Amino acid sequence: MKYRLLNLLACPHCKYFPLEIYIIEVKEYDRKLPTEPPLCDLYCGYLGKYLKEVQELPPCKECIRKEIVIAAIYCPKCSRWYPVIDEIPRMLPDHYRNRGEDLNFLKKYAEILPDKVKYQGKPYNLKT
């Protein structure tokens, strides 16, 4: 998953934007900018800020080289979290989520993920 995707993603449950991301693993590739910066039009996922809050040109040259392999995307409005596994964000509605897989993800990365994801996250967390 590219950081740029955070410029487009909203929570499928409550439609909140922007979402937070907690990175676990990132790969780096040798890529060049396809256009002049900024590549995003509203929100820079790499910096975690709206572009209007960024004082200088955003670091698009760094961002384009990174691919998020494993992470958790979190909605601060409804507390839902979504795993990113093998570079693919798994942003499914609650009724399509697999409880066992979600709990295994939380247990595997418990030392890295923040408490709000591990213990208050929906639809599943380590307290449920």
Residue 54 sits in a domain whose CATH number is: 2.20.25.10
Q: Name the residue range of residue 49's domain.
A: 3-95
- In this predicted structure, the answer to whether residue 23 has a pLDDT above a threshold of 90 is yes
Number of domains composing the chain: 1
* b/e sequence 83-94, b meaning 16+ C-beta within 10 Å: bbeeeebbbeee
- Let me know if residue 110 belongs to a domain: no
What pLDDT is attached to residue 2?
Answer: 95
Share of the chain above pLDDT 90, in %: 89
- In this predicted structure, the answer to whether residue 31 has a pLDDT above a threshold of 90 is no
- Let me know if residue 48 belongs to a domain: yes
Instruction: State how far the Cα of 6 lies from the Cα of 35, in Å rounded to an integer.
Output: 18
- Let me know if residue 29 belongs to a domain: yes
What pLDDT is attached to residue 40?
Answer: 92
Cis peptide before 89 (omega within 30 of 0): no
- Let me know if residue 17 belongs to a domain: yes
- Let me know if residue 36 belongs to a domain: yes
- Let me know if residue 30 belongs to a domain: yes
- Let me know if residue 33 belongs to a domain: yes
What pLDDT is attached to residue 124?
Answer: 96
What pLDDT is attached to residue 36?
Answer: 82
Q: In terms of Cα–Cα distance, which of 120, 82, 119 is closest to 102? A: 82
- Let me know if residue 85 belongs to a domain: yes
